[in-house]
Amino acid sequence: MSEIIFDAAVSINGYLADENHGLQWLFDVPGAQEPDPDLLPKNVGVHVEGANTYMWLIDNEQLMENPHKWQEYYPGVTTYVFTSRDLPIPNGADVRLVNGPVAKFLPEIRGTAGLKNIWVLGGGELLGQFLDVGAIDILALTIAPVALARGAELLPRNIGGESLELVQAHKAGPFARLVYRVRDSR
């Protein structure tokens, strides 16, 4: 059976992105230019992300001008983008723009993933919606040795300690890696 995994890098003070929705701070960490492929979720069939995460990727990687990169990065992966805006989609990319609560689209997302995993990439409100409906199995965080004064919060929700079971903690280059199994405590 597939799992729904939230896996993201965060600053030591809990931000997913800076105040401009940028991630350059993460790539400026010495040793972060070549991420360890073992840190990425395996057997992924679907990505789920918010509009800011998606647009940062489109702009940073110049995917509209170089749509072939999409297939290099995400071969065979369907991407659901939760947004209220009409966003550009690179030629040949299987990107589905959806507007509404996670609960409404969860059956479709699970059906698209089949037996493969679903990787929720961000942002924090999207993670919160998945947690609200008990649909996150794994919460994996790569903690960067960076503090940001402002930005996009990891999770604008209260989650009690009874909901998370630490299953892994280790050093990963300049980062700390924490992986939790999420217990449905709704």
Domain 4-18+41-182: CATH class, spelled out: alpha beta
Phi and psi at residue 39, in whole multiples of 5°? -80, -20
Residues in the chain: 186
Q: Which tens digits make up the pLDDT trace of 49-106?
A: 999 999 999 999 999 999 999 999 999 999 999 999 999 999 999 999 999 999 999 9
pTM (2 decimals)? 0.94
pLDDT score, position 20: 92
- The C-alpha atoms of residue 89 and residue 77 are separated, in whole angstroms, by 14
What are the tens digits of pLDDT across the range 103-130? 999 999 999 999 999 999 988 999 999 9
Cβ atoms 26, 148 nearer than 8 A? no
At residue 37, does pLDDT exceed 80?
no
Hey, what are 174's tokens?
Answer: 């300049």
Classify the C-alpha dihedral 157-19-66-141 as positive or negative: negative
- Tokens at residue 85, please? 């805006």
From residue 108, alpha-carbon distances to 44, 78, 126 in Å are: 16, 12, 16
Q: Are 26 and 158 in contact (CB under 8 A)?
A: no
Domain ranges of the chain: 4-18+41-182
Strand partners, 148: none
Tokens 């600053």 label which residue? 11
Tell me whether strands 44-50 and 78-82 are parallel, antiparallel or unpaired: parallel
CA angle 129, 135, 141 (to 5 degrees): 80
